[in-house]
Structure 1
Amino acid sequence: MDNLRRRLHELGGKWADELQLVLWSDRTTPKTATGQTPFSLVFGVEAVIPSEVLVPTHRYECMTWELNSAEMIRNLNTIDEMRASAKIRMAAYKQSVSRSYNKNV
């Protein structure tokens, strides 16, 4: 939230134009607690960010419709496992933060 607030404050009155890009970058950035992006936890796949389309990366260049369809089916089959793994990682992260906080109290 601090990054979002800082970025939008820098823009002044033009914050509405930039809001979608800031939110998109937040949704496609892996979070420390889960190790996954919020987008991938909801949809089961990694998002292709606009810069990958403008300056094609290896991941974007090598993808065909057939490969994409097969990958989507595979991701739908493993999404529950990915979410369970993220839940376990969140619990471990929460314990780590709690230990660190309690050590300093």
Structure 2
Amino acid sequence: MDAIGPIEPAASNDHRFILVAIDYFTKWVEVTSHKSVTKITHQNSTAYRLQMNGAIEAANKNIKRILRKMTYNHKGWHEQLPCALLGYRTMARTSTGATPYLLVYGTEAVIPVEVEIPSLRIIQEAELDNVKWVRARYEQLALIDEKRIVVVYHSQLYQQRMARAFNK
């Protein structure tokens, strides 16, 4: 967990801070905005999990960058947090080769544009009756462990490449 802020100017609801939490494996991020962070005590991470500092700092940087691009009125950034999270959760991470949404739910997210302009996936699912849709969804969820194993393997290869580059 980490806090972003104080953010100037404050949002229209007087919030100046964003509290960010990230799951190390899936890279799933949760955020909330707050007026102050006075009840949060700062604790440094142990040497056992130093890589978590990098993961949360990267998430902070990406969320700030997404918000900066989405916000025209600097005071309206808190209203854009849900959309920024959707963008963050549906972008593939280099370290895992998958989206956080896929790793949590076992399928890719239906993004708003797919509702307006149906993709092949949406058209195929719309033609299924309820029983077939439930069966297909159950099969997708059964494959989630296999997808996660592939991601673990991809992550290990990524860490090895990063270590080789660092050691050069």
TM-score range for the pair, normalised by the shorter chain length: 0.7 to 0.9
- 1:35 matched residue in structure 2: 97
Note if 1:71 corresponds to 2:136.
yes
- 1:44 matched residue in structure 2: 106
Higher relative contact order by CA 8 Å / sep ≥ 6: 1 or 2?
1
Matches within 5 A, 1:16-31: 16-31=78-93
SS at match of 1:69: helix
Q: Where do 5+ consecutive residues of structure 2 fail to align? A: 1-59
Distance 2:67 2:90 in 1: 18
Give, in angstroms, the shift of residue 79 of structure 1: 1.1
Contact 2:62-2:88 at 8 Å conserved across structures: no
Distance 2:91 2:97 in 1: 10
- 2:64 matched residue in structure 1: 5
Identity of aligned residues (%): 34
Higher helix share: 1
Higher strand share: 2
Distance 1:29 1:7 in 2: 12
- 2:146 matched residue in structure 1: 81
SS at match of 2:143: helix
Size of the aligned set, in residue pairs, is: 103
Q: Where do 5+ consecutive residues of structure 1 fail to align? A: none
Distance 1:24 1:98 in 2: 31
Q: CA RMSD in A?
A: 1.6
Measured against aligned partners, the alpha-carbon deviations of 1:13-33 in whole angstroms (never above 9, x if no partner) come to 110111110101111111111
- 2:164 matched residue in structure 1: 99
Q: 1:46 to 1:9 in 2, by over 3 A?
A: closer
Q: Pick from 56, 74, 98: which aligns with 2:118?
A: 56
Measured against aligned partners, the alpha-carbon deviations of 1:68-100 in whole angstroms (never above 9, x if no partner) come to 323211112111111111111101101101111
Which of structures 1 and 2 has the bigger CA Rg?
2
In structure 1, give the amino acid aligned to 2:122.
Answer: Y
